Chain A
């Protein structure tokens, strides 16, 4: 069975409709998760227009507890914690997005090639995966980030190095499974060769587990990024990155509010991604769960 090119757009349109119909059956918790993520996405795009204080300017007295003027108080330099927390999203969310995207891209390509070609390619990629996964994630990230030098870019590279093997494994398993299906054999019998088989006939059917996992990992990446900043290997002051904000509050036990805002922000993102990820997995991935 071959599909004519003209039928393809219509098929993908009806597929999009089917996906939308399935999405509408998401449980309430997953919808809440999606709403929280939407809120943060809008914040990232528009927060510079919001009528909130300048996150880098000294706008009040130092170390003031929450008040009507400063909802989450002020930090050691008299900056508004509420404004800094919202502005922090502009750092944390894009970083996590980039890290997850790069890890998915790198891991999926290597995993797909590994599953498709087998043999030496497979052995090399999978041994790399094994070795990478033999490190406790935070220690590997710390080592890489420290060797490359502090800074957000290097911390991001370190996180991609930590995360890609998971996607390589996922994609390899998917490709191995889809490769055995009838339509692939039919395509090969019909003369399709090499990477074209992988790209056209196999990969389009392999993305579901990867996307579900990426949703869940987004929150975990936010956590690890904040951890690295907290340690001093990520964002550098005065950037209002959530992890480094908590780090600034860490030595001031009596002024709990300095760390409260960024902590709640991280919690909201991590909870939202696990709610949404759970819901998506229940809907699309019948094998697990």
Chain B
């Protein structure tokens, strides 16, 4: 297993190179002129800017040289300059990443907790009305267009009953807590500012729920089917023969075994989360890299799109690697070898 993780680790630089190469090719394909991917249309008439960009990205050089320059810039963290913010894309992304991470982590927690709870309960009461309702709730979550469920829930809970505030991370004109982790909820707690923490939490609640609901479906389904399978296996019969009540068999015996397949799909649900985060942020005006990417796509801000794509892929690869490590750690059959 260690060999497997090692092999995955070795794969990562190659995959990153692949990702960078694809991004490079995409930037070269833009409307047939790579310059269009680096200089906004309205600045094309300014020879100073055009020449500076050409020099920086080696646009007057042949393709292989440009490729090397592109990779060199990438390694130095240069993702180009955004057309719309006129700042380095890397700076924009660094500034917005914590907001996305806070949303994704909160959604992951909500999705996993809801998925585990619903999966456990529907396995325990399988065949009953509760089972059907729980499964349909989970299935709808993963079948809804997230930008639509976000919209409808925002209408219901914010516009109609004012249960949660509207969009954004904080109310207008409220100052963010001093930056430590970049998570407003955590930073507010660190600053000891409880009212601010509650404000940040209430702003986070709905988008995180919408996003978490989308992954609940996958998790519920997996947990339920692994638990039901576990209940039919020999070790469950042994537990019953020891005198364990059905609840104990489920929670103490089937559940730990279900955690192993659960860990393997967490990497997969992360792909769901990234997709969902992009759209959720757009609906909730969440100032993360998702809404940044959507705005970039709408205004054809190529450097920004490319930058987000690369950063997103790196995060995705890391998440999959973490999943592999967690899997190896959780499975005792693998741990010793």
Contacts and interface: CB of A to CB of B under 8 A. Distances in A.
In the complex they form, do A and B come into direct contact, defined as C-beta atoms under 8 angstroms apart? Answer: yes
Nearest to B296: A146
A134 B313 contact: yes
Contact of B309 (A135, A230, A246, A271): A135
B30 A147 contact: yes
B312 interface: yes
B321 to A, nearest CB: 11
A140 B306 CA distance: 9
Contacts of A227: 145, 147, 275, 278-279
A267 B141 CA distance: 10
B275 A138 contact: yes
A219 B317 contact: no
Interface in A179-221: 219
B145 to A, nearest CB: 5
A17 B90 CA distance: 60
Contact of A143 (B26, B159, B294): B26
Contacts of A127: 14, 18
A274 B302 contact: no
A149 B298 CA distance: 10
B147 A230 contact: yes
A266 interface: yes
Interface string B138-150: 0110011101110
Contacts of A246: 145, 147-148, 151
A231 B297 contact: yes
A136 B274 contact: yes
Given A131-B22, A139-B293, A271 B316 contact: no
Nearest to A226: B145
Nearest to A256: B155
Contact of A146 (B152, B271, B302): B302
A147 to B, nearest CB: 5
A136 B308 CA distance: 11
Nearest to B22: A131
B31 interface: yes
A134 B19 contact: yes
Given A227-B279, A231-B297, A231-B298, A139 B145 contact: no
Per DSSP, chain B at the interface is: helix
Interface string A114-154: 00000000000001001110111111101111111110000
A148 B30 CA distance: 6
B143 A267 contact: yes
A104 interface: no
A249 interface: yes
Nearest to B316: A136
Interface string A31-72: 000000000000000000000000000000000000000000
A250 interface: yes
A243 interface: yes
Q: Classify chain B's interface size.
A: 35 or more
A260 B283 CA distance: 15
Contacts of A130: 11, 15, 18
A266 B37 contact: no
A233 interface: yes
A253 B206 CA distance: 15
Contact of B271 (A137, A256, A259): A137
Interface in A239-289: 243, 246-247, 249-250, 253-254, 256, 259-260, 262-263, 266-267, 270-271, 274
Contact of B312 (A131, A136, A149, A243): A136
B165 to A, nearest CB: 13
A147 B27 contact: yes
Q: Which 4 A-B pairs have the closest CB atoms?
A: A131-B18, A263-B148, A270-B143, A138-B275
28 contacts: A131-B15, A131-B21, A135-B19, A135-B22, A136-B274, A136-B275, A136-B312, A136-B313, A136-B315, A138-B278, A139-B274, A139-B313, A143-B26, A143-B306, A146-B297, A147-B26, A149-B300, A227-B279, A230-B145, A231-B294, A250-B151, A250-B282, A253-B158, A263-B148, A263-B149, A263-B151, A271-B140, A274-B139
Interface of A: 127, 130-132, 134-140, 142-150, 219, 223-224, 226-227, 230-233, 243, 246-247, 249-250, 253-254, 256, 259-260, 262-263, 266-267, 270-271, 274
